[in-house]
Amino acid sequence: ETGVTQTPRHLVMGMTNKKSLKCEQHLGHNAMYWYKQSAKKPLELMFVYNFKEQTENNSVPSRFSPECPNSSHLFLHLHTLQPEDSALYLCASSQTPAAPDTQYFGPGTRLTVL
Amino acid sequence: AQTVTQSQPEMSVQEAETVTLSCTYDTSESDYYLFWYKQPPSRQMILVIRQEAYKQQNATENRFSVNFQKAAKSFSLKISDSQLGDAAMYFCAYRYTDKLIFGTGTRLQVFP
């Protein structure tokens, strides 16, 4: 499935760095999501966007800042992260945020915070 | 709160055999959606199969089928004629609103 792409695939950053993760979907969907996948834990929903508007912030620390300039692109801006933020960050999209609509995932960005 | 439980951290199966992965969930809703996703080493989460709670008929997708027991809140995945390419993490997920709630996953190994 190449409908959702993410860059970079791997990222190593220090706690004082600022970096951004990018997600692009080519499926014509209107809803986009950020998830965090840590070892031994279920995927955690971070943010939901619908038609570029944020509709869900799952109590995510402010050091994670999402941006959705249009329905095809989603960014996650990172600054002053902590080592416990190291994880796989997955982007997903669906036609709408409604429950019947299947979410399609990107390959993820493996983030390591030193 | 809705929760999804996968009680088998790891499972193994011989090629061409059948394996069943378990999933239970907790919800007070009557209309919802259940999914099985596969995550191979490439990390791309791929939809395997989905089930609408209002449908009594179990979903089937080629070699993959589910046993949906609504009253028991159970949603197991059966993989028939297992292939080496089936080796992956399998995640059960529940969706009622815009949130997709995942279990912790089951790692499936397939032996030749």
Q: Spell out the residues 6+ positions from residue A79 whose beta carbon is closer than 8 angstroms to its own.
A: A17, A18, A63, A65
pLDDT at A112: 96
Judged against a pLDDT cut of 80, whether residue B1 lies above it is answered with: no
Q: Which of A82, A56, A72 is nearest to A106 (CA)?
A: A72
User: Smallest Cβ distance to B43: which of A92, A104, A107?
Assistant: A107
Lowest mean pLDDT among A49-58, B56-65, B73-82: A49-58
Q: Tally A–B CB contacts below 8 A.
A: 57
Of B42, B52, B104, the CB nearest to A42: B104
Q: Do B44 and A45 count as a contact with CB atoms less than 8 A apart?
A: no
**What secondary structure letter does DSSP report for A84?**
G
| A45 φ/ψ angles, rounded to the nearest 5 degrees | -70, 130
pLDDT at A1: 47
Give the pLDDT of residue A100: 84
* Contact criterion met (CB < 8 Å) for A45 and B35: no
Percent of chain A at pLDDT exceeding 70? 99
